Amino acid sequence: MKKTQYDILLALSEGKSVCGSRFDSELLKQLSTEHLITTIRHGSRVSYRAIDPSEIGRVFPLVDPSSMRSRADQVAAFGDSKVVATRSCPGFPVNVTSPLQVILGGHILTLNPTPGAFTFISDWENFKIPPEVFVIGVENMENFRFVEKQAYLFEYLMAPLLFVSRYPQSGDLVRWLRVVPNRYIHFGDLDLAGINIFLTEYRNPLGDADGRRSEFLIPNDVQLRLSHGSRKRYDAQIARFGNLHSDDPRLEYLISLIHRFRRGYDQEGFIREP
């Protein structure tokens, strides 16, 4: 790893934005492919920021190369003199609220709801589900762990459900969504940042500009929830996402409500205790 690359990755891991001109094409491609960064535009200027700063260090070894005195030092630190960022755990976790038969590697697998556990699909390229299944993308891991406490939100679908998470922040989930025909519903925070994540990290990569394949979950009681939401969350996001808009009338309506109440609502608030 070059010193310049280390400085860029360190800045991203600290939540800082980095000017686009500092990136070499290979590093930018790898960060984008793994869905680790988001683009920030100021007129003609482009910079990048980590979607989740903590994930940078999970994918890239953040050790200052200037501290490495020799190739032997690299071997001691990384087990290889050619330091390359690799992921030892490709794929994504899935969860269910009722038994669901799927195909994994050409074999039938029944996913069963198990309190306190979920399934990790590492062979995602050979993972297939029935076409009538709705894929529910759960943005926060706390919600993903307790999907059975939020199943009430999706009763209107009257269809089998597969809950998915993009943890550990790789691009595998979106790559899988591109090749399956199933409808995708994004379940995230009711705030400007949550809408931006859906648009930039899911709908745009899926090439779903008309919204036929994907949608953002907007509950029937959205106004009540926003009225009890966080003003601090709204204030923290307004400078960055204040000009956020969408051609989707449903999303534009949600954006208008967020501005009207000047609040955001955490996804964890949907968890309903027995």
Domain boundaries, the chain: 3-78, 92-270
Q: What is the pLDDT of residue 2?
A: 62
Nearest Cα residue to 90 out of 56, 130, 59, 111: 59
Higher-scoring residue by pLDDT: 128, 211: 128
Q: Which fold has domain 3-78?
A: Arc Repressor Mutant, subunit A (1.10.10)
Continuous segment of H or E residues that includes residue 236: helix 231-241
Q: What is the pLDDT of residue 242?
A: 93
Residue pair 164/135 in contact by the 8 Å Cβ criterion? yes
Average pLDDT score over residue span 58-64: 65
Q: Which of 126-130, 166-170, 196-200, 205-209: highest mean pLDDT?
A: 126-130
CATH 3.40.1710 for domain 92-270, yes or no, is no
Q: Is residue 40's pLDDT more than 80?
A: yes
Q: What does the block give as tokens for 221? A: 């009681």
Q: What is the pLDDT of residue 246?
A: 92
Higher-scoring residue by pLDDT: 161, 25: 161
Q: What is the pLDDT of residue 195?
A: 95
Q: What is the pLDDT of residue 24?
A: 85
Those residues with Cβ within 8 angstroms of residue 179's Cβ, 6 or more apart along the chain or in another chain: none
Q: What is the pLDDT of residue 92?
A: 94
pLDDT tens for each residue of 68-125: 444 444 444 444 444 444 455 789 999 999 999 999 999 999 999 998 899 999 999 9
Average pLDDT over the chain, rounded to an integer = 86
What span, in angstroms and rounded, lies between the C-alpha atoms of 189 and 169?
17
